[in-house]
Amino acid sequence: MSLRFGFDELTGRTWTRCPNKDVDGRPATDALASPASCPWTRGAENKMLLKMPQKLLKSANYIELGSYQHWPVLIPQNIRLYTYEQVPLFLKENPFITDGYRAHLPSKLCLRSIFMMSNETVNIWSHLLGFLLFFYLGVNDVTSTLPASGAKREDYVIYAIGLFCFQVCMLCSVGYHLFACHRSEKTSRRWLALDYAGISVGILGCYVPGIFYAFYCNAFWRQLYLLTVLSLILAVFCAQVHPRYLSNDWRHIRVAIFCSVAGISVIPACHWVGVNGGFTCEVVQLFLPRVIVMYLIAGSAFLFYVTKIPERYFPGQLNYLGASHQVWHILVVVMFYWWHQTAVHMMQFRHSQPCPALTSSS
């Protein structure tokens, strides 16, 4: 039998919803009522609920557990974890993660769950700490790194854009993994859309400093590539407006879109090698290995995300630690940090080695 109890803060009364099925040949009502007025719920549960102090009712959470054998469950100031089979359909993303799910929570309890152990804890804290890392790097760049490198105003703008994009990506990810368990599917989907938007912003944060310093001596190609990337990111934002964009049917399309936006970076990378005279050029020899490492980190992160390895081979054993999405999160932070440091080295090189045109003109 599936019942649901709760406390109405406006009226100060306890309510129950009668089971939506026939009992003894009589159709059950589906309206809210007091526990005693529901003809098929008079029993130990009603007596317990009616005798319960109102103060305790206000501080407790009531969750719908269906045919759960220990129903009803009253959890004062706590949050129950569910198995994969018990959570709503919109939370069933990875069948190899079998336990540790939060569900049916209001916003306040979603926030409180940040301090409890669940299968989302590592996902939340990895990017929350990532946000703090990039915030620290931003402060350090403005106060130390950039002034010591003789940076110009445009350098400050470029680094501010890059690190701001990384921080937005981190916060959007934290928000989704924190509020995905919201009792409203609509709210959960909104946070999912924000998470995807954050990924796009993070990709933009990689492109901006990379293209700016790669084509530092060629204003035409620098502006062309930056405008192209910005147009692609805006196109992804427009695609998110489609009503089926967040559906499971479009899962592979979403992956393909983000892969395309990130993979197009190979074009300006190859162009950069050609413009500088090939692999024998000093700047190419210095920074091409760092670009390749960047691609290796990104590719590894993507493989973990898509294949759901290692939990695919150890279902139920990596629910809380070691799952593929957690590895994906950590690799994204590592990738952003690596690219930020690469941009710092490229900026220092450009300030120490003037562009060929400037050298000849002087």
- Which listed CATH number (1.10.3470, 1.10.60, 1.20.1070, 1.10.40) goes with 121-361? 1.20.1070
Q: What is the pLDDT of residues 74-95, one digit of tens each?
A: 343 568 999 999 999 999 999 9
The Cα-based distances of 65 to 5, 7, 185 in angstroms read 11, 17, 17
Has 177 been labeled as part of a binding site?
yes
Residue 30: pLDDT above 80? no
SS3 5: strand
Q: Say whether pLDDT at 266 is over 70.
A: yes
The mean per-residue pLDDT over the stretch 96-108 comes to: 95
Q: Are 152 and 206 in contact (CB under 8 A)?
A: no
Predicted local confidence at residue 241, as pLDDT: 80
Binding residue per annotation — 242?
no
Query: How is the chain split into domains, by residue range?
Result: 1-78, 121-361
Q: What is the pLDDT of residue 54?
A: 52
Contact 38, 60 (CB under 8 A): no
Residue 325 annotated in ligand binding: yes
3-state SS class at 247: coil
Residue scoring higher pLDDT (108 or 5): 108
d(CA 302, CA 306): 6
**Would you state the pLDDT for residue 14?**
44
- Using 50, 70 and 90 to split pLDDT, how confident is the model at 250? confident
pLDDT value of position 63:
40
Whole-prediction pTM:
0.78
pLDDT in tens, 118-149: 999 999 999 999 999 999 999 999 999 999 99
Average pLDDT in the chain: 83
Phi and psi at 23, nearest 5°, equal -130, 125
Q: What percent of the chain has pLDDT over 70?
A: 77
